[in-house]
């Protein structure tokens, strides 16, 4: 593991020195899990934005995001299990159920680029809020569905149900803020 850290530190130091024209202050503490850039203000900032759980420190944003993604996934899979039962109770035939599933897939496919652009313009936090709000609206409409047309309407808010992609975007932007030299890697 320390070999990888040393190799990583030398590679990032080379990239930083090429970019800035000077030697990098990047250093690695061997024998521990912390990679330190050598500034005390970074350590203070890490303490303010971290949560200690089971003796390990985690970034608060990442921890809250993972908990929200877990709840989002639970809601999604509960909805997936209830959906066939609900369509059968409302008198839909298998072809209509197929149309409902196709509508969901097409709406999500069309919403992917829109969600990505929204995240680029407004940031990952707002994109995550949009994803959770659209999931909540979709689940609420599914809850109050009393007819087949309302089932189709409940699929429309899923255009922005891309919380997993929003989480990846947030974690990537968080990593780039912590380690700006990673941005030059492409």
pLDDT tens string 3-43? 444 444 444 444 444 444 443 333 333 343 444 444 444 44
Rounded distance, CA 36 to CA 75, Å? 39
Comparing 29-33, 38-42, 53-57, 82-86, which segment has the lowest mean pLDDT?
Answer: 29-33
Task: Note the pLDDT of residue 138.
Answer: 93
Q: Is the pLDDT of residue 183 over 60?
A: yes
Task: Note the pLDDT of residue 30.
Answer: 38
**Type and span of the H or E element at 56:** strand 56-59
Residue 183 backbone zone (phi > 0: left; psi -120 to 50: alpha; other: beta) = alpha
pLDDT digits (tens, 9 = 90+) for 104-162: 999 999 999 999 999 989 988 899 999 999 999 999 999 999 999 999 999 999 999 99
Rounded distance, CA 127 to CA 120, Å? 9
Q: Is the pLDDT of residue 46 over 60?
A: no
| Token duo for residue 133 | 């709000």
How is residue 39 annotated by DSSP?
-
Q: Which of 2-6, 48-52, 53-57, 107-111 has the highest mean pLDDT?
A: 107-111
Task: Supply angle C-alpha 10, 61, 19, rounded to 5.
Answer: 30
Domain ranges of the chain: 2-58, 61-170
């Amino acid at each position: 593991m320390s070999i990888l850290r040393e190799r990583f530190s030398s590679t990032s130091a080379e990239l930083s020195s090429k970019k800035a024209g000077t030697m990098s202050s990047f250093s690695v503490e061997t024998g521990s899990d912390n990679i330190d850039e050598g500034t005390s203000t970074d350590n203070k900032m890490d303490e303010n934005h971290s949560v200690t759980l089971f003796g390990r420190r985690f970034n608060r944003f990442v921890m809250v995001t993972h908990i929200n993604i877990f709840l989002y996934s639970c809601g999604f899979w509960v909805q997936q299990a209830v959906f066939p039962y609900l369509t059968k109770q409302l008198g839909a035939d298998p072809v209509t159920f197929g149309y409902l599933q196709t509508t969901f897939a097409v709406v999500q496919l069309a919403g992917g680029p829109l969600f990505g652009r929204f995240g680029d313009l407004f940031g990952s936090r707002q994109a995550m809020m949009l994803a959770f709000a659209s999931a909540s609206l979709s689940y609420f409409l599914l809850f109050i569905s009393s007819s087949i047309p309302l089932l189709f309407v409940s699929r429309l808010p899923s255009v922005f149900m891309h919380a997993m992609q929003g989480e990846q975007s947030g974690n990537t932007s968080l990593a780039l803020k912590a380690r700006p030299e990673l941005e030059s890697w492409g």
